Amino acid sequence: MEEKAFQEFYPEELSYCYGCGRLNDQGHQIKSYWDGDETVATYSPKPFHTAFPGYVYGGLIASLIDCHSTGTAAAAVYRAESRAMDSDPPLRFVTASLHVEYLNPTPLGVPLEIRGSVKEIKERKVVVESKLFAEGKLCARGEVVAVLIPEHFLPSKP
Protein backbone atom coordinates (compact mmCIF):
# COMPACT_ATOMS: atom_id res chain seq x y z
CA MET A 1 0.00 0.00 0.00
CA GLU A 2 1.11 3.55 -0.65
CA GLU A 3 1.89 5.83 2.24
CA LYS A 4 -0.47 8.70 1.66
CA ALA A 5 -4.24 8.27 1.36
CA PHE A 6 -6.10 9.51 -1.71
CA GLN A 7 -8.03 11.97 0.43
CA GLU A 8 -4.83 13.58 1.70
CA PHE A 9 -4.20 14.87 -1.83
CA TYR A 10 -7.54 16.65 -2.13
CA PRO A 11 -7.24 20.43 -2.22
CA GLU A 12 -8.33 22.17 0.95
CA GLU A 13 -11.65 23.46 -0.38
CA LEU A 14 -12.64 19.89 -1.29
CA SER A 15 -11.64 18.40 2.04
CA TYR A 16 -14.75 19.04 4.11
CA CYS A 17 -16.74 15.98 3.06
CA TYR A 18 -18.44 14.41 6.06
CA GLY A 19 -17.40 10.98 4.85
CA CYS A 20 -13.82 11.50 3.83
CA GLY A 21 -12.73 15.10 4.28
CA ARG A 22 -9.58 15.34 6.34
CA LEU A 23 -10.67 18.79 7.53
CA ASN A 24 -14.15 17.75 8.71
CA ASP A 25 -13.63 17.23 12.43
CA GLN A 26 -17.11 15.77 12.88
CA GLY A 27 -16.86 13.36 9.96
CA HIS A 28 -15.63 9.85 9.31
CA GLN A 29 -12.34 10.94 7.71
CA ILE A 30 -11.95 7.66 5.85
CA LYS A 31 -8.65 7.05 4.11
CA SER A 32 -8.27 5.01 0.95
CA TYR A 33 -5.12 3.48 -0.50
CA TRP A 34 -4.02 1.42 -3.45
CA ASP A 35 -3.39 -2.23 -2.78
CA GLY A 36 -2.27 -3.59 -6.12
CA ASP A 37 -5.15 -3.09 -8.54
CA GLU A 38 -7.64 -2.77 -5.72
CA THR A 39 -8.18 0.03 -3.25
CA VAL A 40 -8.71 -0.44 0.44
CA ALA A 41 -10.00 1.57 3.38
CA THR A 42 -10.56 0.54 6.97
CA TYR A 43 -13.08 2.11 9.30
CA SER A 44 -14.13 1.31 12.84
CA PRO A 45 -17.75 2.33 13.46
CA LYS A 46 -18.55 4.15 16.66
CA PRO A 47 -20.65 2.41 19.31
CA PHE A 48 -23.67 4.55 18.37
CA HIS A 49 -23.56 3.55 14.68
CA THR A 50 -26.13 0.87 15.36
CA ALA A 51 -28.93 -0.55 13.28
CA PHE A 52 -30.03 -2.98 15.94
CA PRO A 53 -27.84 -3.48 18.98
CA GLY A 54 -24.73 -5.33 17.87
CA TYR A 55 -25.02 -4.53 14.19
CA VAL A 56 -23.79 -1.66 12.05
CA TYR A 57 -26.21 0.91 10.65
CA GLY A 58 -26.81 0.43 6.93
CA GLY A 59 -26.60 4.14 6.19
CA LEU A 60 -23.02 4.18 7.46
CA ILE A 61 -22.20 1.22 5.23
CA ALA A 62 -23.64 3.09 2.25
CA SER A 63 -21.58 6.15 3.21
CA LEU A 64 -18.33 4.21 3.46
CA ILE A 65 -18.93 2.55 0.10
CA ASP A 66 -19.82 5.90 -1.43
CA CYS A 67 -16.77 7.83 -0.28
CA HIS A 68 -14.31 5.01 -0.83
CA SER A 69 -15.66 4.54 -4.35
CA THR A 70 -15.49 8.19 -5.37
CA GLY A 71 -11.97 8.32 -3.97
CA THR A 72 -11.11 5.21 -5.96
CA ALA A 73 -12.58 6.80 -9.09
CA ALA A 74 -10.34 9.84 -8.76
CA ALA A 75 -7.25 7.78 -7.97
CA ALA A 76 -7.92 5.50 -10.94
CA VAL A 77 -8.12 8.40 -13.39
CA TYR A 78 -4.90 9.92 -12.05
CA ARG A 79 -3.27 6.52 -12.42
CA ALA A 80 -4.68 5.99 -15.93
CA GLU A 81 -3.30 9.39 -16.93
CA SER A 82 0.04 8.67 -15.25
CA ARG A 83 -0.41 11.79 -13.16
CA ALA A 84 0.52 12.36 -9.55
CA MET A 85 -2.50 12.91 -7.30
CA ASP A 86 -1.27 16.35 -6.32
CA SER A 87 -0.88 17.55 -9.92
CA ASP A 88 -3.15 20.20 -11.40
CA PRO A 89 -5.94 20.39 -12.25
CA PRO A 90 -7.34 18.42 -9.30
CA LEU A 91 -9.75 15.65 -10.24
CA ARG A 92 -12.64 15.08 -7.92
CA PHE A 93 -15.61 12.81 -8.49
CA VAL A 94 -19.15 12.96 -7.22
CA THR A 95 -21.69 10.19 -7.04
CA ALA A 96 -24.26 9.93 -9.81
CA SER A 97 -25.71 6.72 -8.44
CA LEU A 98 -25.10 4.41 -5.52
CA HIS A 99 -26.32 0.85 -5.21
CA VAL A 100 -25.77 -1.25 -2.11
CA GLU A 101 -26.78 -4.83 -1.47
CA TYR A 102 -26.80 -5.82 2.18
CA LEU A 103 -25.76 -9.46 2.14
CA ASN A 104 -25.09 -10.21 5.78
CA PRO A 105 -25.59 -8.35 9.04
CA THR A 106 -22.44 -6.36 9.79
CA PRO A 107 -21.19 -6.82 13.33
CA LEU A 108 -20.45 -3.72 15.39
CA GLY A 109 -17.17 -3.55 17.31
CA VAL A 110 -14.71 -4.71 14.68
CA PRO A 111 -12.89 -2.75 11.96
CA LEU A 112 -14.59 -2.85 8.58
CA GLU A 113 -12.56 -3.26 5.41
CA ILE A 114 -13.82 -1.73 2.19
CA ARG A 115 -12.17 -2.95 -1.00
CA GLY A 116 -12.77 -1.19 -4.30
CA SER A 117 -12.15 -2.21 -7.88
CA VAL A 118 -12.66 -0.26 -11.08
CA LYS A 119 -15.27 -1.78 -13.39
CA GLU A 120 -15.28 0.86 -16.08
CA ILE A 121 -13.17 3.95 -16.58
CA LYS A 122 -13.62 6.95 -18.81
CA GLU A 123 -12.22 10.42 -18.43
CA ARG A 124 -15.36 11.80 -16.81
CA LYS A 125 -17.11 8.67 -15.54
CA VAL A 126 -15.87 5.76 -13.49
CA VAL A 127 -17.82 2.75 -12.24
CA VAL A 128 -16.45 1.28 -9.03
CA GLU A 129 -17.45 -1.86 -7.19
CA SER A 130 -16.75 -1.80 -3.47
CA LYS A 131 -17.14 -4.71 -1.10
CA LEU A 132 -17.37 -4.35 2.64
CA PHE A 133 -15.98 -7.04 4.90
CA ALA A 134 -16.11 -7.64 8.65
CA GLU A 135 -13.66 -10.19 10.02
CA GLY A 136 -13.11 -11.43 6.46
CA LYS A 137 -16.81 -11.99 5.80
CA LEU A 138 -18.48 -10.19 2.90
CA CYS A 139 -21.30 -8.14 4.41
CA ALA A 140 -22.23 -5.67 1.66
CA ARG A 141 -21.50 -5.06 -1.98
CA GLY A 142 -21.83 -1.68 -3.60
CA GLU A 143 -21.60 -0.14 -7.02
CA VAL A 144 -21.00 3.55 -7.53
CA VAL A 145 -21.21 5.50 -10.76
CA ALA A 146 -18.88 8.42 -10.15
CA VAL A 147 -18.71 11.44 -12.43
CA LEU A 148 -16.13 14.15 -12.64
CA ILE A 149 -17.29 17.06 -10.56
CA PRO A 150 -18.85 19.76 -12.74
CA GLU A 151 -16.92 22.99 -12.53
CA HIS A 152 -19.90 25.02 -11.33
CA PHE A 153 -20.02 22.69 -8.32
CA LEU A 154 -16.60 23.68 -7.12
CA PRO A 155 -16.56 26.04 -4.15
CA SER A 156 -13.98 28.25 -5.75
CA LYS A 157 -16.42 29.06 -8.55
CA PRO A 158 -19.48 30.55 -6.87
Please answer whether residues 64 and 41 qualify as being in contact, where contact means their C-beta atoms are separated by less than 8 angstroms: yes
- Told to check if 153 binds a second copy by CB under 8 A, we report yes
- Told to check if 134 binds a second copy by CB under 8 A, we report no
Q: Which of 6, 32, 41, 66 binds a second copy (CB under 8 A)?
A: 66
Q: Using alpha carbons only, what angle is made at residue 22 by residues 83 and 135, rounded to the nearest 5 degrees? A: 90
Q: Which of 96, 119, 135, 138 binds a second copy (CB under 8 A)?
A: 96
Q: How far is the CB of 20 from a second copy (least distance, A)?
A: 9
Torsional class of 109: left (φ above 0), alpha (ψ -120 to 50), beta (otherwise):
left
- Closest to a second copy by CB, 36 vs 158, is 158
Please answer whether residues 53 and 45 qualify as being in contact, where contact means their C-beta atoms are separated by less than 8 angstroms: no
Enter the DSSP assignment of 105.
P
What 3-state class would DSSP assign to 128? strand
- Told to check if 121 binds a second copy by CB under 8 A, we report no
List residues near a second copy by CB under 8 A: 13-14, 16-19, 21, 24-27, 46, 48-55, 57-60, 62-64, 66-67, 94-102, 105, 149, 153-155
